[in-house]
């Protein structure tokens, strides 16, 4: 193993051991916490999964809010997301969640502080903890971890993309498998194992478009487009959570001209990060990522039943 990855892994091991042995104790909110996280850096589908789970909770009539770090924002401290705000204020993914689900989303470096603020403002309802698997400072009542096919053969940071080794899945209550990944090669004995299908929502796309995005795994988006019969004539990929500048817009317009493209296609997250620059790229198709949770009703029942059992007075 890469030396730096070995050092990183040692640090992760110490951090987890301190919580496992109760040297460090997580802080608990009044309302139940359901964590949605992963093992790797980006690209596992956490945000689409939170959207799916959020819609299921709304259909059931369960009131909830979302707690997030607000990665990529330029502000600090605890803030309630204003859906009309910007990615620099709140982060692109929290803003997307607030706009799509129309529920309170609270960002903060410390998710416990964010949760306290949420409970003061909205009451001790259920909290969805976005990207929470490694944030062990906040106690959770149900832990969901998404695993991708790429994770199963990957290495720890910085040589690979893993933030934790696969053996950390033993902490999870449920493991969500995407793509062609099966549970055979994973340490998930005794865990709930759920499946999802990922794709894109059908939309009207300009002929011969330029595809561009700033997401963790852009090739997956490109593959989804081609599977849907959309074959871009040019591509431009940026770092995850990329904040688009005026120079980026000029570069994209030149790329469209050189490639004789009919317009652009990008993701919902990129549309948020484009902000007011979005109108300069007309015509542009914003293609939402679609996630289908298999056996969704049973998944929700399992989560709610487990929460009730664990919070029942002894």
**CATH number, domain with residue 272:** 3.40.50
> pLDDT tens digits, residue range 7-66?
999 999 999 999 999 999 999 999 999 999 999 998 789 999 999 999 999 999 999 999
Q: Clarify whether residues 231 and 115 are in a common domain.
A: no
Q: Work out the end-to-end distance of the chain between its first and last CA atoms, rounded to an integer number of angstroms.
A: 46
Average pLDDT on 127-133 reads 97
Q: Clarify whether residues 256 and 136 are in a common domain.
A: no
The total of structural domains in the chain comes to: 2
Q: Clarify whether residues 111 and 186 are in a common domain.
A: yes
Q: Clarify whether residues 117 and 212 are in a common domain.
A: no
In Å, what is the CA distance from 84 to each residue of 98, 102, 104, 289?
9, 12, 13, 21
98 part of a folded domain: yes
13 part of a folded domain: no
Q: Clarify whether residues 39 and 187 are in a common domain.
A: yes
- Tell me which residue range forms the domain holding 247: 202-287
Between CA 124 and CA 127, with CA 125 as vertex, the angle to 5 degrees is 110
| pLDDT attached to residue 121 | 98
Strand pairing of 210-213 and 234-237? parallel
Strand pairing of 289-293 and 192-200? antiparallel
How much is the pTM?
A: 0.94
Is residue 233 over pLDDT 60? yes
Q: What is the CATH number of the domain that holds 125?
A: 3.40.50.300
β-strand partners of 145: 37, 175
SS3 249: helix
40 part of a folded domain: yes
Q: Clarify whether residues 164 and 221 are in a common domain.
A: no
Query: What is the residue-averaged pLDDT of the chain?
Result: 95
């Amino acid at each position: 193993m890469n030396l730096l990855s070995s050092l990183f892994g040692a640090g992760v091991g110490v951090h987890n051991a301190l919580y496992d042995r109760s040297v460090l104790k997580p802080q608990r909110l009044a309302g139940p916490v359901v964590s949605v996280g992963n093992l790797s850096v980006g690209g596992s589908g956490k945000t689409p999964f939170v959207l799916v789970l959020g819609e299921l909770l709304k259909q059931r009539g369960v009131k909830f809010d979302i707690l997030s770090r607000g990665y990529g924002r330029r502000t600090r401290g605890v803030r309630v997301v204003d859906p009309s705000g910007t990615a620099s204020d709140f982060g692109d993914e929290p803003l997307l969640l607030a706009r799509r689900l129309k529920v309170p989303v609270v960002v903060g470096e410390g998710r416990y502080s964010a949760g306290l603020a949420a409970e003061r403002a909205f009451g001790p309802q259920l909290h969805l903890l976005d990207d929470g698997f490694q944030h062990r400072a906040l106690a959770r009542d149900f832990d969901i971890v998404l695993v991708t096919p790429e994770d199963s053969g990957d290495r720890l940071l910085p040589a690979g993309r893993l933030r934790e080794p696969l053996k950390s899945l033993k902490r999870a209550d449920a493991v969500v498998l995407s793509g062609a990944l099966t549970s055979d090669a994973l340490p998930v004995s005794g865990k709930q194992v759920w499946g999802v299908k990922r794709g894109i929502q059908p939309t009207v796309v300009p002929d011969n478009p330029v595809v561009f995005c700033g997401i963790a795994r852009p090739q997956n988006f490109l593959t989804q487009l081609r599977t849907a019969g959309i074959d871009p004539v040019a591509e431009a990929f940026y770092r995850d959570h990329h904040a688009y500048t005026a120079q980026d817009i000029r570069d994209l317009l030149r790329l469209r001209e050189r490639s004789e493209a009919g317009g652009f296609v990008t993701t919902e997250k990129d549309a948020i990060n484009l902000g007011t620059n979005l109108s300069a790229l007309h015509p542009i198709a914003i293609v939402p990522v679609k996630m289908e949770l298999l056996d969704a009703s049973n998944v929700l029942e399992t989560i709610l039943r487990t929460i009730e059992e664990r919070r029942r007075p002894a």
